[in-house]
Amino acid sequence: MESNQAPQGLMGSNDNIQRTQDPYVTGTSVVALKYKDGILMAADMGGSYGSTLRYKTVERLKPVGKHSLLGASGEISDFQEILHYLDELILYDNMWDDGNSLGPKEVHSYLTRVMYSRRNKFDPLWNSLVLGGVKNGQKYLGMVSMIGVNFEDNHVATGFGNHLARPILRDEWHENLSFEDGVKLLEKCMRVLLYRDRSAVNKLQIAKITDEGVTISQPYSLKTFWGFSAFENPTVGAEGSW
């Protein structure tokens, strides 16, 4: 961002200016849903470097202020930059010392403006963000993409989650899910992603946010089942193959 100096036309070819990137270290899906007391959000702890699962303890769920929780997929360094912006935002909010605090809707709006503004400069933050929170009993769950597309809904997911988790959530989500049911539903989604998304790792965190505050679980892994007879005896019926 600091190296964006002279304003360029749409197709400027000044080599010093950093624009349009390829993502390097990336996180995969984030899945979130509204439940009775607030929001539940889940993400694994993988940071992939292309096709290598390079980092396995990346925290992709972070609290923001008193009322919000941010989950990010995409470029991890851009996520860290966003956290830096948010730190400043929350700091200034606290410095007013007026009893008011930024709610999830406001933080989501801020993030949308940041992402859109970077897209306008052709230098996007390569993330899909999930912002969830509760303020004064009002639950809020929204998503922003790297080009600024944003919406709120009862359940959201980024990346592969959109294809694999959303259909499950559309089928099984309902109002006033209990905490246990919410976690079970999220784990079901994360398990499918674990089986089918090659950038997924079996080490995840689930975060919950309610009016009382944010709790992010310790990392844990899901039970998986590989005991299918076809796996156990793969060459039955085709001797010599593998």
The residues binding other proteins (CB under 8 A) are 10, 13, 15, 20, 22, 112, 116, 119-120, 122, 124, 143, 145-153, 162-163, 166
Q: Which helix (H) or strand (E) holds 191?
A: helix 179-196
How far apart are CB 76 and other proteins at their closest, in Å? 18
CA–CA gap between residue 190 and residue 177 (Å, rounded): 18
148 in Cβ contact with 116 (< 8 Å): yes
**Considering the complex, what minimum distance in angstroms separates the CB of residue 151 from other proteins?**
5
Which residue type does 146 have? M
Instruction: Quote the least distance from Cβ 156 to other proteins, whole Å.
Output: 8
Task: Based on the residue annotation, tell me whether 20 is a catalytic residue of this protein.
Answer: yes
Token pair for residue 176?
């006033």
Measured CA to CA, the distance from residue 65 to residue 51 in angstroms comes to 34
Residue whose CB is less far from other proteins, 22 or 97: 22
Q: What is the DSSP string of 111-148?
A: HHHHHHHHHHTT----EEEEEEEEETTEEEEEEE-TT-
Q: How many CA atoms are closer than 13 Å to the CA of 212, on its beta-carbon side?
A: 3
User: Which of 36, 42, 99 has its CA nearest to residue 66?
Assistant: 99
- Report in angstroms how near the CB of residue 33 gets to other proteins at its nearest: 13
| Residues involved in catalysis | 20
